[in-house]
Chain A
Amino acid sequence: EVQLVESGGGLVQPGGSLRLSCSASGFTFSYYSMHWVRQAPGKGLEYVAGISPDADRRLYADSVKGRFSISRDNLNSIQYLQMSSLRPDDTAVYYCVKDPRISYFDYWGQGILVTVSS
């Protein structure tokens, strides 16, 4: 059974940093692209970032480019999202998602809340 478990969320002040982790199991992690998708309270889904299986390609939404960095550890089946210069509009539930073949997201984690507030 595929499982994606996010951790590392919480409350952070504007301008601060936070690192999210996503532990994956139930599939061969190193074979698949992985992504982060977020949802602000009461709002729609927003693509954040993605990383190819061997990490040679990393993609970012314009809204986070230059502030967020995605990475992965294929040995331990973990992906990360390093977030810096956080702003109140980064407040959202962040989902770790699996991409079976550069087309869609077939599995989603339970999500982790990040709150940016003073």
Chain B
Amino acid sequence: HSALTQPASVSGSPGQSITISCIGTSSDVGLYHSVSWYRQHPGKVPQLILYDVTQRPSGISNRFSGSKSGSTASLTISGLQAEDEADYSCCALAFDGTYIFGTGTKVTVL
């Protein structure tokens, strides 16, 4: 399986909104509603921020939202804050039961 495609970097000013795309295929992103997103601050453990495309775990800000169209999923961060600066990775359940991660996106708050 090839990694899902994400932009290497995305940046925005505080208060702005940014969107990170996650491009897969009909055998993963496009197959199920099982797309999740993880945030990882430098040197830290990845943290789940969205699951099932749009669902937020308890404790995750509603500034994070997700969507999916066909084989492309997206993560939008609204009202960008300095603390949002981190690496973000998408992940999808594939047709064979394994998971595929995205290439990862570094978010920079200008």
- A residues sitting closer than 8 Å to B (CB atoms) are 35, 37, 43-47, 50, 57, 59-62, 95, 102-106, 108-111
Decide yes or no whether B10 CB sits under 8 A from chain A: no
**B residues whose Cβ falls under 8 Å from a Cβ of A:** 1, 3, 32, 34, 36, 38, 45-48, 51-52, 57, 87, 89, 91, 93, 96-104
User: Which A residues touch B104, using CB under 8 A?
Assistant: 43-45
A58 to chain B, nearest CB (A): 10
When chains A and B are docked, how far (Å) is the Cα of A102 from the Cα of B93?
A: 8
CB distance from B39 to the nearest CB of A (A): 12
Expressed in whole angstroms, the Cα–Cα distance for A35 and B100 within the complex equals 13
- Asked, given contacts A45-B91, A59-B97, whether A104 binds B1 with beta carbons under 8 Å apart, the answer is no
Given A104-B48, A105-B36, check contact A44 B98 (CB 8 Å).
Answer: no
The answer to whether B101 touches A103, judged by C-beta atoms less than 8 angstroms apart, is no
Could you jot down 20 A-B contacts, CB within 8 Å? A37-B99, A44-B87, A44-B89, A44-B102, A44-B104, A47-B98, A47-B100, A59-B97, A59-B98, A102-B34, A103-B36, A103-B51, A103-B52, A104-B34, A104-B51, A104-B52, A106-B48, A108-B47, A109-B45, A110-B45
Dominant SS among interface residues on chain A? loop
- Which residues of chain B have C-beta atoms less than 8 A from A37's C-beta? 46, 99, 101
Contacts of B102 in A (CB 8 A): 44
**CB-based nearest B residue for A58:** B97
The 8 closest A-B pairs by CB, nearest first: A104-B36, A44-B104, A104-B51, A103-B34, A45-B101, A47-B99, A108-B45, A59-B98
